[in-house]
């Protein structure tokens, strides 16, 4: 198991590895995956994806802390940070996402999570179009999330936590509660 994940650390499929080597979560078991879009640029020691030092990570950490009986794993579609010509983080392009998609599949197939939360529409569209064609992603304002099941894994498109933390701050508690309830309900039904 570790060998396949360790191979990702040395990925040089695209040029983004020149910015920073792939960032991986050190945890090696997972009931739940959090899947973001791309890695951040870190100074010094390597950080985990969706670090609790970020707005996204701090919201995710609150959910994880409320469900200590479960194992969580954080990752991104693009494992290395995409930077613009000024060295600032930018959204990854389609070629970069496509180049790194196989690394996500390796993580998924190695760790076999029961639920994968797809953070934001871009991530949801890319992943769901791999498992089913022409998917329609709707994220409502009351956090009633729909999901798809493929090979016994539940894929759940959700609002990106940083979107909630910035633009829907008053709804953070409802967002967290909705995700907690979804996790508990889905795992009870297995």
pLDDT at 101 (0 to 100): 94
pLDDT for the residue 134: 67
Write down how long the chain is: 190
Residue 132: its pLDDT value, please? Answer: 77
State which residues of the chain have pLDDT below 50. Answer: none
Structure confidence at residue 45 (pLDDT):
58
pLDDT digits (tens, 9 = 90+) for 36-47: 999 987 765 557
Q: Is 151 left (phi over 0), alpha (psi -120 to 50) or beta?
A: left
For residue 159, the model assigns a pLDDT of 97
Q: Are 20 and 80 in contact (CB under 8 A)?
A: yes
Model pLDDT, residue 7: 85
Query: Collapsing DSSP states into helix, strand and coil, what is residue 139?
Result: coil
pLDDT, one tens digit per residue, over 5-31 is: 888 988 889 999 888 888 899 999 999
- Read off the tokens for 36: 């973001």
């Amino acid at each position: 198991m570790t060998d396949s994940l360790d191979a990702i650390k040395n990925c040089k499929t695209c040029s983004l590895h020149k910015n920073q080597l792939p960032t991986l979560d050190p945890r090696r078991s997972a009931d739940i995956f959090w899947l973001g879009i791309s890695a951040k640029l870190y100074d010094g020691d390597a950080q985990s994806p969706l670090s609790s030092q970020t707005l996204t990570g701090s919201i995710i950490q609150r959910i994880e802390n409320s469900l200590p009986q479960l194992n969580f794993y954080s990752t991104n579609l693009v494992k290395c940070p995409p930077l613009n010509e000024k060295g600032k983080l930018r959204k990854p392009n389609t070629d970069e996402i496509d180049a790194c998609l196989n690394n996500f599949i390796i993580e998924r197939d190695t760790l076999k999570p029961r639920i994968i939360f797809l953070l934001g529409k871009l991530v949801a569209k890319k992943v769901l179009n791999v498992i089913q064609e022409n998917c329609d992603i709707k994220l409502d304002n009351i956090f009633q999330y729909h999901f798809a099941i493929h090979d016994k894994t539940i894929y759940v498109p959700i609002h990106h936590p940083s979107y909630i933390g910035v633009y829907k701050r008053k709804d953070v508690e409802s967002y967290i509660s909705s995700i907690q309830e979804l996790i508990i309900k889905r795992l009870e039904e297995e």
